[in-house]
A and B are shown apart, each in its own frame.
Chain A
Amino acid sequence: MKRVFGQIFGVVLLAGLFSHAALAQTADPTAAANAYVNAPHNWQMWFPEAGSPMQEKIDWLMKYVLWIMAGIVAFVGGLMVYVMLRFNARANKTPALFTHNTLVEVIWIVIPTLLLAVIIVPSISLIYYEADDSNPYMTIDAVGHQWYWEYKYESTPGLDYTSYMIPDDKLQPGDIRRLTVDHPIVVPVGKKIKFNISSTDVLHGFYLPSLGVQRYAIPGTVVTSWTIIPKVGTYYGECNQICGVNHDAMPIEIKAVSMDDYLAWVKVAQANYVMNSFAPNLLSSPMPVNQFADLAVVK
């Protein structure tokens, strides 16, 4: 697992060096985020490395609940193996005929109930933690469209841009197929970011596994969530509610950068992104043609 991580890391580093000449011209203020890439890796068996305090808490509770559950599965499995060995027809020729035992019946009601209580207490505190989106440093509206995301920075008037997946045939070295987008969300590290999630057409899912954020994007209503990213880096997410033919082709990419880099990026972005004045990175093969419907939206 370490080795795979290393490889990804190496590729990313190389790509960073490779594109440095280009960056020098455009002076990409988010370049620092390429140093740490939190993306899934092959044969991964657990959550992504926690990119936010929320994900750390989810990771902890998951381990806590899963260990209790593993204990129950092992206990039941052990009982079954014992019963199969001890009470098979060869080992036990005459079956007993008891059908009741009040004591064990009470025990197997009381103990599971206690275990549930043990699970519910930390679980509820996590729900309250996840729900607390008060006092954000900044708010980003994430709006799902068929099949791209639109990000609107409420604190920066006019900063409103769309984010398309890089299609398979336009991938650059260092891009991750089906995860890298043309215009990622950029946020400052260590600040509380609130997401106002909604949609203009069908349901979408705003899903950031490494940050522990997930909400449906529902037309006609705004659903909120939030995150804090303590570490400079690039984080990924995906649409996670079926939204039509290109459901698998509208990933989310977030770059967390230092406050200075963020402010620099805002300046560049304001110049470039004003009311979607750039050409969208349209999907190409093998996706179907419906994507061109979006051309009309982007002026």
Chain B
Amino acid sequence: MSSTTHDDHNTHAAHDAHGEHGHAKPSFVRRWLMSTNHKDIGTLYITSAVIGGCVGGILSMIMRAQLMYPHNHIVSSGTEWNAIITAHGLIMIFWMVMPALIGGFGNWFVPMMIGAPDMAFPRLNNMSFWFLVMGFIFVMLGLLIGDGTGAGWTIYPPLDNAKFSPGIATDFSLFSLHLAGISSLLGAINFIATILNMRAPGMTMHKMPLFCWAILVTAFLLLLAIPVLAGAVTMLIMDRNFGTSFFEPSGGGDPVLFQHLFWFFGHPEVYIMILPAFGIISHVVSTFSKKPVFGYLGMAYAMVIIGFVGFVVWAHHMFISGISTDSRIYFEVATLVIAVPTGIKIFSWIATMWGGSIEFKTPMLWAIGFIFLFVIGGATGVVLANAGLDQELHNDYFLIAHFHYVLSLGAVFAIFAGFYYWIGKMSGHPYPEFWGKVHFWTTFVGVNLTFFPQHFLGLAGMPRRYPDYPDAFAGWNFVSSVGAMISGASTAVFFYILYRIFTSKEKLADNYWGEGATTLEWAVPSPAPHHTFEDVPVIQ
């Protein structure tokens, strides 16, 4: 990767220097409600991800409490249960993982890493954040109004059509997807314009840090996938409210068409959630091994290939929806192909560590945890990609375990890796190392205890989205719920760490990780000043 020269950052090191450039210190309202600064917007995104994560996390605690024993009554009815699982899925994806990785870290660090003063369209950036907030209000209305939205996050018709889900809650949830989609789409356009046009002189695409590559590929995925979701959701809203029958068999429509459209968006969506995570892990692994990333070009183009192939595998979510035998074979093979570029990434991370001088600081613990647990999630993914096996495993707890291993233990671990890696750059204060490690280990034990037994439940045949289950599934469900409580408790440690960071008086150096951290954000002061590059850095 690139080495950086940045000889005169002292000129804008003083945080209040920006007053001289014609900006008075903005008021609270002006700074946070009308922000056009990529760092402030990034902070807003991360804050909203913390809020989204707490709401989604509380919902998952309710779910695990209900499933702790068979015949439990924590959740009073199937209606309430279905509303909770739907909101949990939607919130965790659209209002936790995506805002944290793309809106949060992406906004904060993409402009800094490419040496740009800000995003290409600052006001569009602000707009895309507030669309997300509106979306969150709508999805919460979808949870809380009337019976709530009870069709699962996959919102398959006919369950969510006007006949089977009367009431306005479902419309709120559907519309919240539109709002989140517009937010993502505008963000994606902004990232593409920024990365393609605003790189500092000398920073060619092949010198660009991997996190920027990850965000670039993610932005293209969003650009192509979100409109398809928007189309599908629009058709659903039309079916519900205006008497069309796109997905209505009695009017010549087809419920399976919705599944095709949904997963044409939904499968790229999983790469939208994991590619930025890949980017973060590359930086963390390289920094704490004190070695440049192994096989940089391979790493970058592996993400491009994953993104591309990710668009042509969607029907592996529909192996039992009655698609033809040949389709099943094609989608199985195409899906398995993704294992190869993913393998390149895993092995390249290990090769980056190989020969390094590894320091096990908190971000590195999360990164190593990510790599190992993502391999487990990837392995069960290869199992599920077999259409013949999916006939047995589809929609049971083996699947739940699989996608929580790649998301809850994958993407979320990368979010925390990024958080501990960059929080000093964002806040100017260090996190308490001891408590960071406590947070890691409690989460690691908790999530594994939660999700590993779910493989067994799935193999034994427990279907997903059940509030009550045959007594034979009681044992592993109890273990899983205990694990969830440990993970829940680890969140308290995280909030204590936040408290320690924001009450800390300690100041950090520009590059507090030392020799291993080579990207441009380490050449600016901590915290990064309001305007980062008033003199354009030159990359050699």
Contacts and interface: CB of A to CB of B under 8 A. Distances in A.
A202 interface: yes
Given A73-B379, A83-B353, A223-B321, A205 B82 contact: no
B396 to A, nearest CB: 7
Contacts of B486: none
Interface string B302-343: 000000000000000000111001001100110011011001
Contact of A216 (B290, B321, B386, B465): B321
A66 interface: yes
A204 to B, nearest CB: 10
Contact of A127 (B78, B291, B387): B387
Size range of the chain B interface in the assembly: 35 or more
Given A73-B379, A203-B255, A221-B322, A98 B355 contact: yes
Contact of B156 (A43, A55, A146, A203): A203
A105 B396 CA distance: 36
A3 to B, nearest CB: 14
A199 B460 CA distance: 26
A123 B390 CA distance: 11
Interface stretch (B198-206, B469-477, B489-497): B469-477
Given A88-B358, A244-B150, A58 B391 contact: yes
Nearest to A207: B463
B295 interface: yes
Contacts of B475: 42-43
B388 interface: yes
Contact of B470 (A179, A202, A203, A286): A179
B158 A92 contact: no
B261 interface: no
A245 interface: yes
B519 interface: no
B336 A120 contact: yes
Given A62-B383, A84-B358, A242 B151 contact: yes
Contact of A99 (B290, B295, B461): B295
B121 interface: no
Contacts of B295: 99-100, 105
Contacts of A83: 350, 353-354, 356, 358
Interface in B426-463: 456, 459-463
Interface in A14-68: 39-48, 55, 57-58, 61-62, 65-66
A80 B355 CA distance: 12
Given A61-B388, A97-B291, A178-B470, A240 B375 contact: no
Contacts of B469: 178, 248
A92 B294 CA distance: 18
Nearest to A66: B383
Interface in A236-277: 237-249
A178 B466 CA distance: 11
A39 B472 contact: yes
Contacts of B344: 105, 108-109
Contacts of A246: 78
Given A88-B358, A214-B391, A69 B382 contact: yes
B70 A73 contact: no
B403 to A, nearest CB: 16
Interface residues of A, number: 96
Nearest to A100: B295
A209 B392 contact: yes
A239 B470 CA distance: 13
B392 A214 contact: yes
23 contacts: A57-B388, A61-B386, A72-B379, A73-B379, A76-B375, A80-B353, A88-B357, A89-B359, A92-B355, A95-B356, A123-B332, A123-B389, A176-B471, A176-B472, A209-B396, A210-B461, A219-B255, A223-B322, A241-B395, A244-B82, A244-B150, A247-B465, A247-B466
Given A88-B359, A242-B152, 7 more contacts: A40-B473, A69-B380, A92-B356, A96-B356, A112-B340, A203-B255, A220-B253
- Top 10 nearest A-B pairs (CB, nearest first) are A220-B249, A209-B461, A245-B78, A126-B388, A96-B355, A223-B322, A69-B379, A248-B466, A44-B460, A40-B472
Interface of B: 70-71, 73, 77-79, 82, 150-152, 156, 158-159, 164, 249-250, 253-256, 289-296, 298, 320-322, 325, 328-329, 332-333, 336-337, 339-340, 343-344, 346-347, 350-351, 353-360, 368, 371-372, 375-376, 379-380, 382-383, 386-389, 391-392, 394-396, 456, 459-476
Interface of A: 39-48, 55, 57-58, 61-62, 65-66, 69-70, 72-73, 76-77, 79-80, 83-84, 87-89, 92-101, 104-105, 108-109, 112-113, 116, 119-120, 123-124, 126-131, 146, 168, 176-179, 201-203, 205, 207, 209-210, 212-216, 218-221, 223, 237-249, 286-288
